[in-house]
Amino acid sequence: MTSFPSPIPSIMLFLALTMQFRFGESFSAINSNATPKVKTFHFGAGCFWAPADKIKSMPGIVSTSVGYCGDDTVSPDAAISYEKVCGGRTKLVEAVRVEYDANQLSYEDLLPIFAEVNTAEYGNKRQYSGVIFTSSKEERKIASNYLEENKQVVASVEEMSSNYYKAEKYHQDYWAKWRTRIPLLVGGLFLISKIGGDMSQTIYNFVCYGFIGFTLIERKIDTAVETISARND
């Protein structure tokens, strides 16, 4: 009588991936240095995932989120989605919203940080533009002078739009979540490969396709159930 390997390892892997899949935000770093003197800084630097991730753990940074801004022709009540921005139906830019402690960081301190994480290139479409969004004449002067002195930084200066639209949940803490998911997936697949036989291949395929499927479902659910409302600065 043929004996099959226990499916328990694959079930445990599946549950671990599923839980991390929906609750991965809890693994992201939290800056506990709360302060009442919090200011905001918005910028576009190419794709918003990596810049937000790199900045969030820096001293003086209270929090980061990713979203869209830079187009005041969009109705504040409009349902903005990643698909609309990607499709060119708006002039919105993928933006990072940084809340920082003004006691630890000045506005001038933020500009070299922006330059360090900026991946925008000349010729990028509007969505991936390098933009420093300013909220006052003083900020605009400081940002313009910085770019004048650092011409290698591919960016422009724009007045902050009236609204910042926070992006869908699956975009938030994106790399923090995937740094946990990828090792889980690779480690799990390695263990499954050690089982051997047809059952091993079946479990392997199930986990791979299941992981891809859940990733797509995550995006669909977040897009469907979250109405992205404008946040006025």
Q: Give the catalytic positions in this structure.
A: 47
Strands 130-134 and 93-101: unpaired
How many angstroms separate the CA atoms of 121 and 90, rounded? 20
Strand order in the sheet with 156-159: 156-159, 130-134, 38-45, 93-101, 61-69, 163-166, 230-232
Pick from 105, 73, 76: nearest CA to 91: 73
Residues 6+ apart with CB under 8 A from 142: 107, 108, 111
Structure tokens at 50: 């990596």
